[in-house]
């Protein structure tokens, strides 16, 4: 593990953090919370306060619903072409300000600047993609089998949407929901994570500049998400909940939404297997593993959580990935030398440490890392564990950190059984030169997304989502993402 230099960093212009946190964004106006309370935004690299943002109340939440309701009729009546042009302008502005946004993400989230730049590019692409799809929302026309009438299906905006996003991708998780919702003609209330709100507010300024009318997008942060969400979902004008986060919180939100029969899209936890067969290209598999495991320092729901390697290639794989992990530069996210930044909080570090110690106690061998360092900030070293037993806690929990646990397998069936032995089913990775085997294994894996000979699975043009306890619905794709924010209206017509 190499330590990248710490701040201050010379010759680098940093964003005006407090300017990014002008207030809650409701009805096109920046305002304080009604109770005047604020939330400290912490720099994970140092543990110090970067800025403060308002801590929204239930009254603020209700005000955002009012604003979204007033704006809804005009926005849904706005022509698809006009909505498309506004979304395209959001993409252009995000692209123009990519470096500033990436730096902001690195500062509040801690992720390496290279990862933050990739996130901004990915996040902006949702606006370009949905700008192109907004003008292609069409209905259906046919004749009933009996011949008695015509069947007309019209697609209409579902209504006001509550969007709840996590801290690990503060730009992309927001735009992945906002862009299709706006393309469909919906108005939205975004509640970003209180750990990383500055990016959400900076993006709100971009939406405003791009021409999004007041009330169409509202952004509020709060330290009391449960009563906030309950108040919004209880309003009969709110018809959609889209959430990205843990399965545990998702279950609670589903129960709350069920009280009011609110449509839900849920992108929840993951426990992704990364399967490497003996015939795999070793170099390609190592490259893919580093992307799948270390993107955002492992703080991703799609991160490779369990690395299953066939016995014939196991030792070579273990040696190669250990060298790559040991060589990573660890440091502050905004340092250009950093390849692995800090975790989001000290609590996250403690969870990783617990999982690693449990695995070691059950017989896993530490090939590198494995000890929480004594230093300022919320850091954990890149770690490789060999021969992790199947009953280790990390085999069943998301690690959400820079730890690569290796499991040995012998046969294809054994790998599939172990990979599917989890309540989650978001992503999975398979490496093999045998395309028939790759497709065969992919069809048997219980996951919503499969990366075959690739370490990156996410794409705005493809449907993102999982099965089992990893969620409901899909985001992105040719029509899947927008469809989540629309209702089909059937008209039986005779003429």
C-alpha dihedral sign at 251, 256, 261, 264: negative
Q: CB count, 10 Å around CB of 342?
A: 30
Single out the residue of 425, 424, 457, 430 nearest to residue 442, CA to CA.
430
Burial (CB count <10 Å: 0-12, 13-18, 19+), residue 77: exposed
Single out the residue of 277, 255, 274, 276 nearest to residue 264, CA to CA.
255
CB 19 within 8 A of CB 43: no
List, as one string, the DSSP characters of 370-411.
-S---SSSS----EEEES--TTSGGGTS---SSEEEEEEE-S
Catalytic residues: 267, 301
Pull the structure tokens for residue 357.
């110690």
Vertex 282 angle, CA 279 and 287, to 5° = 135
Single out the residue of 165, 157, 409 nearest to residue 276, CA to CA.
409
CB 433 within 8 A of CB 455: no
* Alpha carbons 427 and 55: distance in angstroms, whole number: 34
Pull the structure tokens for residue 431.
């490496």
* Alpha carbons 171 and 198: distance in angstroms, whole number: 10
Task: Give backbone dihedrals phi and psi of 8, rounded to 5 degrees, phi first.
Answer: -80, 150
Pull the structure tokens for residue 253.
């939100």
């Amino acid at each position: 593990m190499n330590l990248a230099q710490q701040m201050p960093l010379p010759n680098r212009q940093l964003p005006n953090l407090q300017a990014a946190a002008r207030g809650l964004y409701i009805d096109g106006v920046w305002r304080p919370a009604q109770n005047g309370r604020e939330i400290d935004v912490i720099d994970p690299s140092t543990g110090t306060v970067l800025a403060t943002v308002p801590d929204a109340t239930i009254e603020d939440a209700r005000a955002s619903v009012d604003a979204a309701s007033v704006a809804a009729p005009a926005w849904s009546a706005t022509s698809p072409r006009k909505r498309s042009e506004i979304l395209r302008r959001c993409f252009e502005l995000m692209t123009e300000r990519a470096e500033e946004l990436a730096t902001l993400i690195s500062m509040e989230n801690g992720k390496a600047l290279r990862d933050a730049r990739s996130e901004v590019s990915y996040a902006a692409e949702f606006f370009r993609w949905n700008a192109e799809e907004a003008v292609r929302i069409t209905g259906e026309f046919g004749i009933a089998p009996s011949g008695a009438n015509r069947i007309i299906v019209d697609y209409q905006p579902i209504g006001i949407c509550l969007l709840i996003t996590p801290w690990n991708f503060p730009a992309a998780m927001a735009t992945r929901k906002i862009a299709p919702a706006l393309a469909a003609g919906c108005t939205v209330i975004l509640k970003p994570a209180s750990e990383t709100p500055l990016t959400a507010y900076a993006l709100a300024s971009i939406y405003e500049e791009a021409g999004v009318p007041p009330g169409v997008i509202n952004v509020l942060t709060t330290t009391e998400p449960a009563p906030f969400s309950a108040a919004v979902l209880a309003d009969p004008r709110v018809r959609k909940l889209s959430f990205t986060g843990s399965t545990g919180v998702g279950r609670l939100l589903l129960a709350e939404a069920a009280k009011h029969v609110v449509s839900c899209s849920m992108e929840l936890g993951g426990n992704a297997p990364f399967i490497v067969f003996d015939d795999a290209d070793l170099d390609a598999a190592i490259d893919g593993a580093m992307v799948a495991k270390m993107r955002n320092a492992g703080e991703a729901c799609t991160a490779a959580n369990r690395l299953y390697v066939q016995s014939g290639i196991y030792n070579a794989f273990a040696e190669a990935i250990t060298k790559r992990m040991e060589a990573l530069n660890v440091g502050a996210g905004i340092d250009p030398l950093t390849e692995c930044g800090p975790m989001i909080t000290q609590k996250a570090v403690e969870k990783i440490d617990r999982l690693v110690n449990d695995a070691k106690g059950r017989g896993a061998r530490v090939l590198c890392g494995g000890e929480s360092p004594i230093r300022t900030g919320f850091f954990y070293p890149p770690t490789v564990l060999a021969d992790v037993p199947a009953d280790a806690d990390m085999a069943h929990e998301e690690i959400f950190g820079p730890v690569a646990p290796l499991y040995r397998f012998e046969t294809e069936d054994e790998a599939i059984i172990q990979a599917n032995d989890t309540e989650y089913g978001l992503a999975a990775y398979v490496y093999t030169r045998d395309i028939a085997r790759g497709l065969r294994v992919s069809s048997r894996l219980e996951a919503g997304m499969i990366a075959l000979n690739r370490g990156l699975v996410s794409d705005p043009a493809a449907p993102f989502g999982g099965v089992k306890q990893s969620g409901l619905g899909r985001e992105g794709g040719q029509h899947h993402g927008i469809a989540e924010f629309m209702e089909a209206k059937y008209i039986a017509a005779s003429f």
